[in-house]
Amino acid sequence: MAAAIVFYVSGHGFGHASRTIEVINAVLVKRPETRIGVRTAAPRWLFDLTIRGKVAFSTLECDTGVVQIDALTLDEADTIRRASAFHNDLVTRAASETRVLRELGAGLIVGDIPPLAFAVGAAAGIPSIGLGNFTWDWIYADYPRVRLAPSLLPAIRGAYARASMALRLPMSAGFESFSNVKDIPFVARHATRTREEVCKALKLPADKPLVLLSFGSYGIPGVDTDVLAKLKKYLVIRLESQPVGRTRKETPTSERRGSFVSVNEEAMYNAGVRYEDVVGAAAAVVTKPGYGIISECIANDTAVLYTSRGHFPEYEVLVGEMPKYLRAAFISQEDLFAGKWESHLDKLLAQPKPKKKAETNGAEVAADLLLAALDKPPRKPRGRPRTKV
């Protein structure tokens, strides 16, 4: 039986999971018989809805990420405390994973981008490859409280140093601990439905530009939707989970209140519309900067109206790089929550588009590299040369 690729995926937000899923899908297109394992704390439904093939999914906390209070606020002290407690026990955690890898028949480990993945690879003698646009040691190093956890950064960097290779995405930072780094294009989901098809499937009027409100797993409940419902030029869409007390049959695909529309996410997928289709149908996405949403807006030629998101070092990198790849503009949290979007959207959409479109075939590039690594014969263990007698 051919060896499997086992993916260890950070559960921080949806970005790590969504881009890993694209790479898995690309692998399965190129070689459908490839066995795939996934170890992550990201929600299983995200994989069930979007992976186009069979995977062995199992829940595991691979890292602690950044502790979010809500979509726009994080807790630095608890972030460092949890990360330190988790990585102090990294060797033991890695050793306990070797049994799972044997059961999965792992021949290659891919990490996006928890240090545990590379510690596991070293413990099991299996090559490991990193995938991402930032590293956790780079994130944590920017928090003053990291000095209270002196072993944290060395533990993370030591694990990263055990990787065979790192596939570095655009808009990146922090890969100094990896000895072998290869740059690849954006990994992003591409719409497969036209704007007209999306509007028809979700029962949306097509007479106004669509604006998608997207703030990941936390959402952003404090926005004044009464104001948004009165917007004259735009139709705002927010994806919602299954309403409490309703059965699936009772749940409409969308509910409209003026210029504000709630779209049931499960009903949306049942109608054959995926998240990236909505991004592609939208003129703009209102969001916080994150790799996943930015890359999908680049892939689908959608503008980004972004707000600040607290002390997350990736923010400065993303904001600095975005103008190279798409139309982007800032909205204050005050205007965001008050629903004062219209003038910001007008200015954003009046911007000229970038002259050159970025490559967004990173999933295919990564898949080729992973399959080549999987096919590579395992290294023979080094031992002392025999002495002739």
221-251 pLDDT, tens digit per residue, is: 789 999 999 999 999 999 987 543 444 455 5
Distance CA 142, CA 137 (A): 9
The phi-psi region of residue 13 (left if phi > 0; otherwise alpha if psi is between -120 and 50; otherwise beta) is left
Domains observed in the chain: 4-187+362-375 (3.40.50.2000), 195-350 (3.40.50.2000)
CA 14 – CA 339 distance, rounded (Å): 25
pLDDT digits (tens, 9 = 90+) for 95-154: 999 999 999 999 999 999 999 999 999 999 999 999 999 999 999 999 999 999 999 999
pLDDT of residue 380: 55
DSSP symbol at 187: B
Report pLDDT for 388.
40
**Encoded amino acid at 342, one letter:** E
Please state the rounded mean pLDDT for residues 313-318. Answer: 93
Total residues found in the chain within this entry: 389
Strand 284-287 relative to strand 303-306, pairing:
parallel
pLDDT value of residue 252? 64
pTM given for the model: 0.92
Query: What average pLDDT does the segment 58-79 reach?
Result: 91
Amino acid at 364: E
| 3-class secondary structure, 231 | coil
**R_g of the chain, CA atoms, integer Å:** 22
